[in-house]
Amino acid sequence: MLEYEMIVHAARVLKDVTRVTPLLESELLNRRLGFRFLVKAECLQRTGSFKIRGAYVKIASLSKEERAAGVVAFSSGNHAQGVAAAAAEMNVLSTIVMPQDAPAVKLRNTAQYGAKVITYDRSTGDRAKIAREVAEQTGATLIAPYDDYVLMSGQGTVALEIADQLAKLKTTADALVCPVGGGGLIAGIATVMAELSPATAVCAAEPEHFDDTARSLIAGERVGNEPGYNSICDSIVTQIPGEKTFPINQKLVSHGYAAPEADVISAMQLLADEMKIVVEPGGAVAVAAVLRQRATWRGKTVVAVVSGGNVDLSAWREFLG
């Protein structure tokens, strides 16, 4: 299981490894919205997303023999870069399975961190199967993208920082909204908030048509997404909530929101205009959900996690028109 003490330990492991990312705020935006809105900018983390937190903690937990055999992961980009960078820092060989149509910046950066990159066709290939075969052939340890308690403990350090930053501002959050793919980040965050700020509602934000966590929370069991849809939010598109993440989120997450792509693009624009940050579509989903529900938050304090900023600038400019 994931416990608060594991996350506190993870923070010690990550000391001098990851950055304490800022909690951004715009007074003019607050005035327009009618509530206090704070943005946790994990797009400014090393590798451009929160993923290095969990990847580093997980690899650091491996034995000397396991590290010598290397690690393997599958990812559309952010987990890939997190694992590659963390492995390189500990002199561990890494192999990353990525879709051939992943954003060029994610493919390029993963290779530059020193990983061996294996690409596959997203429409016909099975990334998990490819990664398992690599693990079987080489003895490498598979670093799961979200369904691992040690990895989740690293992701939860985001919330330790948020709690500390809010305390320094002499305020608390009425709600904390987090992007969700497989559910590892929000599971870690919700575990911390349950311990340090139980009155804060932790909410999931997902792309429209990929709101499997929101629907699973309503159904009381893991529910998959309907096939046939695509999304610009490549970094958080998953088929079904994780087996290990969902029980945590079922217990601790208040509810979920689905954000249409037009709202996601508007959120990306707002973050560039008001916070001066470049954010990938998946990373902007929580902000999109907050803005879509703005009437709900009047007079309150809301934190949104921006989970990543790894987007090709040409694609970013095209999204924003």
Q: How many CA atoms lie within 13 A of 302 on its CB side?
A: 25
Q: Could you tell me the pTM of the whole model? A: 0.96
The half-sphere exposure of 77 on its side-chain side, counting CA atoms within 13 A, is 27
Q: Are residues 55 and 142 in the same domain?
A: yes
The last residue of a domain, from among 86, 115, 146 = 146
Percent helix, percent strand, percent coil in the chain, to nearest 5: 50, 15, 35
Looking at 128, 146, 164, the residue that finishes a domain is 146
Both 274 and 202 in one domain: the answer is yes
Residues 200 and 311 in one domain: yes
Q: What is the pLDDT of residues 86-98, one digit of tens each?
A: 999 999 999 999 9
In angstroms, the CA 206 to CA 213 distance is 8
171 and 197 belong to one structural domain? yes
Each residue's pLDDT tens digit, 242-297: 999 999 999 999 999 999 999 999 999 999 999 999 999 999 999 999 999 999 99
Total count of domains within the chain:
2
Which CATH number fits the domain that encloses residue 101? 3.40.50.1100
Q: How far is CA 100 from CA 17, 103, 104, 141, 279, in A?
A: 30, 9, 9, 23, 22
Token readout for 2 is 């994931």
**Each residue of 3-60: pLDDT tens digit?**
999 999 999 999 999 999 999 999 999 999 999 999 999 999 999 999 999 999 999 9
